[in-house]
Amino acid sequence: MINVSIVGGTGYTAGELLRILLRHNQVNIESVISTTSVGKRIDLVHRDLLGETDLIYSESFKNPDLIFLCLGHGLSRDFLEKNQLPEDCKIIDLGNDFRNDPVYNGKEFVFGLCEQYKEEIINARYVANPGCFATTVMLALLPLASKNLLVDDVHIHAITGSTGAGKRPGETTHFSYRDNNISVYKPFTHQHLEEIGNTFIKAGNTKLPQINFIPMRGDFTRGIFASIYTKWDGVMSDEDTISFFKKYYSSSPFVFVSDEPISLKEVVNTNKCLLHIEFHNGYIHITSITDNLVKGASGQAVQNMNLMFGFDETTGLKLKGSSF
């Protein structure tokens, strides 16, 4: 058993992390820290945990083996500056502070994409969890990048649920705006582009092609549906390409290539990434789907934790999805 602490315990990511860890047979949650809810019962904030825990929010940790940082972007560095952690305590940051700038005050963060950096994660003390859009896109294209096959422009249209914007309501997240509505935001400039590009280069793609990324806000709460295409004429036969993808992910417990078209509900509430591949007019078209709060955030963080502490990679993550 390991003792873990969650810092920033009131948001969607922390709520999802709590749901997973309460069912993890190798974890004791020693503290959940919040600056706004100290002394308050956790199940009064995360109402779906009523009857499952009597934990209350605290203002400090005790002696954790691992700390999950579920803080707003830019706040993890501030937390580490102001708090002295136990000497042997490991860290998984779910924000973006260390994804592209991994060295901080003598600590070097490993990028936590389990399907690419498994061995490094196993030996890591500090891990930077990838972003949700980035995870969905990287898993779709990583096999091609590993063989230096991303040579033409890559086009990505991806739509995300409202939970991707966080719990605090805003002009584009409240019900009246989001319901029966779709909109584009941060076209060609999304912050996840940097970690996507860095990962493809490190995987073996010697020159990064133009990545044209159009993120969209969807009128649903959770999940990411990405439609991705690039030129593919004559590179590899259709059959060999699909076989290559399946072989590439054959040892992954959570990434699967579907022979049939896929839909978003098939991954919601799970740690899966599902891929579907088709070929049209000299292009390869890849559909990639994840749950932004699970494989795109808290589930992947637990997968990283399992690797860091020598647990089976799937422990606590055999979650029940529902396609209806």
- Domain shared by 104 and 219, yes or no: no
- Domain shared by 118 and 234, yes or no: no
- Band of pLDDT at residue 165, cut at 50, 70 and 90: confident
Q: Does residue 172 fall inside a structural domain?
A: yes
Q: Does residue 316 fall inside a structural domain?
A: no
Displacement of CA 12 from its chain's centroid (Å): 13
A 10 A CB-CB count for 103 gives: 10
- Domain shared by 136 and 285, yes or no: yes
- Band of pLDDT at residue 169, cut at 50, 70 and 90: confident
Q: Does residue 213 fall inside a structural domain?
A: yes
pTM, to two decimals: 0.96
CATH number of the domain at 47, please: 3.40.50.720
- Domain shared by 60 and 124, yes or no: yes
- Band of pLDDT at residue 111, cut at 50, 70 and 90: very high
Average pLDDT, the chain: 95
State yes or no: pLDDT of 25 exceeds 80.
Answer: yes
Which two three-digit tokens encode residue 158?
């991806």
Q: Does residue 318 fall inside a structural domain?
A: no
- Domain shared by 63 and 79, yes or no: yes
- Domain shared by 150 and 245, yes or no: yes
Q: What is the DSSP string of 102-157?
A: -EETTEEPEE--HHHHHHHHHT-SEEEPPPHHHHHHHHHHHHHHHTT---S-EEEE
Q: What is the pLDDT of residue 72?
A: 87
CATH number of the domain at 249, please: 3.30.360.10
- Domain shared by 79 and 205, yes or no: no
Q: What is the pLDDT of residue 170?
A: 81
How far is 145 from 150, CA to CA, in rounded Å? 6
- Domain shared by 95 and 82, yes or no: yes
Q: What is the pLDDT of residue 273?
A: 98
- Domain shared by 92 and 203, yes or no: no
Active site residue 114: no
- State the catalytic residue, choosing from 70, 114, 132, 273: 132
The strand order across the sheet containing 283-290 reads 183-184, 211-217, 154-160, 224-231, 283-290, 273-280, 255-258
**Domain of 54?**
2-130+295-308
What amino acid is encoded at 179 in this protein? D
Q: For residues 62 and 112, which has the higher predicted lDDT (pLDDT)?
A: 112
- Domain shared by 153 and 113, yes or no: no
Beta strands in the chain (DSSP E): 2-7, 27-33, 66-69, 90-93, 103-104, 107-108, 110-111, 126-128, 154-160, 183-184, 211-217, 224-231, 255-258, 273-280, 283-290
Which two three-digit tokens encode residue 215?
């993120």
- Domain shared by 120 and 209, yes or no: no
With beta carbons less than 8 A apart as the criterion, state whether 200 and 208 touch.
yes
State yes or no: pLDDT of 168 exceeds 80.
Answer: no
How far is 148 from 88, CA to CA, in rounded Å? 39
- Domain shared by 288 and 172, yes or no: yes
**Structural domain count of the chain:** 2
Q: Does residue 319 fall inside a structural domain?
A: no
Q: Does residue 322 fall inside a structural domain?
A: no
